[in-house]
């Protein structure tokens, strides 16, 4: 409740899954989404992970406006891990393709995502939605400002250059290379 800042008229249903079970759970999710769409007849359907739009009921975009968010290229991320995952990646390409058939407005936050959508044959409305739109409220909150001041004091960083990386600490994000190249940055 504190994270989502829910209004009184908003109800949230959380469906737990895992990366391994995503495809199996997609079928359960598809059934539940069909029930919710039928019960509530929404004005809009917002899909924050594009491939999930493939689970929307057939013909849904003839009755409702569907807004999708292309936030990453899931198939590319899966394929990058190699091995048998390549087969899974092609399945996710197919899900993205099916999803784009059901989406009326596609939000994207970088040029390469727009290119991906166009290569996949998306021909409806594309809207650039920079990350700043979503993050601005959180990162300008008093909680974050207080934390920033605390960290500057605690680690004596007041007069030091600070480099921030926003990524998971996993090998594919290549944080190690970033750390090693810091010594090559100019002094000013």
Contacts of 130 (CB under 8 A, 6+ apart): 109
CA angle 43, 137, 174 (to 5 degrees): 100
Q: What are phi and psi of 153, to 5 degrees?
A: -70, -50
pLDDT digits (tens, 9 = 90+) for 124-176: 999 988 766 555 555 556 766 777 788 788 878 777 766 666 666 777 677 78
pLDDT digits (tens, 9 = 90+) for 11-37: 666 667 766 677 677 778 788 888 888
SS percent in the chain: helix, strand, coil, step 5:
50, 10, 40
pTM metric for this prediction: 0.61
CA angle 22, 37, 94 (to 5 degrees): 40
């Amino acid at each position: 409740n504190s994270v989502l800042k829910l209004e009184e008229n908003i109800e949230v249903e959380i469906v737990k899954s895992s990366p391994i079970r995503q495809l199996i759970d997609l079928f359960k999710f598809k059934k539940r989404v069909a029930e919710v769409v039928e019960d509530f007849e929404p004005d809009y359907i917002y899909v924050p992970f594009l491939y999930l739009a493939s689970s929307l009921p057939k013909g849904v975009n003839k009755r409702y406006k569907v807004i999708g968010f292309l936030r990453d290229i899931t198939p590319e991320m899966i394929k990058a891990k190699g091995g048998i995952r390549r087969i899974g990646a092609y399945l996710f390409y197919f899900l993205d393709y099916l999803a784009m058939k059901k989406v009326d407005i596609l939000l994207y936050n970088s040029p390469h995502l727009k290119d991906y959508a166009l290569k996949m044959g998306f021909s409806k409305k594309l809207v650039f939605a920079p990350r700043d739109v979503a993050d601005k409220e959180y990162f300008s909150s008093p909680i974050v400002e207080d934390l920033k001041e605390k960290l500057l004091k605690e680690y004596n960083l007041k007069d030091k250059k600070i480099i921030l990386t926003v990524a998971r600490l996993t090998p594919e994000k290549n944080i190690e290379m970033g750390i090693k190249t810091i010594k090559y940055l100019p002094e000013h």
